[in-house]
Each structure stands twice: as structure tokens, then as C-alpha cells.
Amino acid sequence: MRGWSWMLSGLLIWAAHFSALYAIASLDAQTSADDHTLWTSAALVATLLCLAGCGLVLARTGFGAAPALPDRLAALGSLGAAVAICWQALGALFG
């Protein structure tokens, strides 16, 4: 289980970010229009937290010579996730 969570860590962070954005967007729709700024800032915070998570994973793996598959997947996965997180955050922040 630990091995798998590590290998998939980048993708799991992406999933957490997506769920957060979905929840925030739903809450934004449910509450009054005045609160919109509140929810966009929440989205911003969630995004920064998740980016930090990706950074942590990357820092732990590094890009040393010929890492094993799980490390490699963790590193590449969080790199990809970071890009996807920024991309999706744009939609939430400037929507």
C-alpha cells in the first residue's frame, strides 16, 4: 500500500486538487454572490498547497541516475500533476 501511494503520489495530489476545486465551485454556486471572492481565494490556497505537495515529492525523488520505476513514476507524475493543477486552477481563478 505504501509503495503504491508513493508511486501514485503525483496523481493522487492531482485528484485531491480536482476534488477541492469541484467542492469549491459547488459551494460557490450554493452561496450568495458576494462570497465569490472568498471561494476564489480558497481555490488559490488549495492550488498552492497542492503545488507545494508536488514540490515535496519532487524534492524527495530528485533526478538521480536511473531511479527505480516507482520513484520515476512519482517524480514524473508530480511534475505532470503540477502542470495540470496550474492549468485547471486558471479556470477556477479567472472564471
Q: Give the footprint of other proteins on this chain (CB under 8 A).
A: 3, 8, 11, 14-15, 18, 21-22, 24-26, 28-30, 39, 43, 68-70, 72-73, 76-77, 80, 84, 87-88, 90-92, 94-95
Nearer to other proteins, 43 or 58 (CB): 43
Closest CB 52 distance from other proteins, rounded Å = 19
In sequence order, what are the residues at sequence separation of 6 or more whose Cβ sits closer than 8 angstroms to the Cβ of residue 3? 70
Closest CB 94 distance from other proteins, rounded Å = 8
Closest CB 4 distance from other proteins, rounded Å = 8
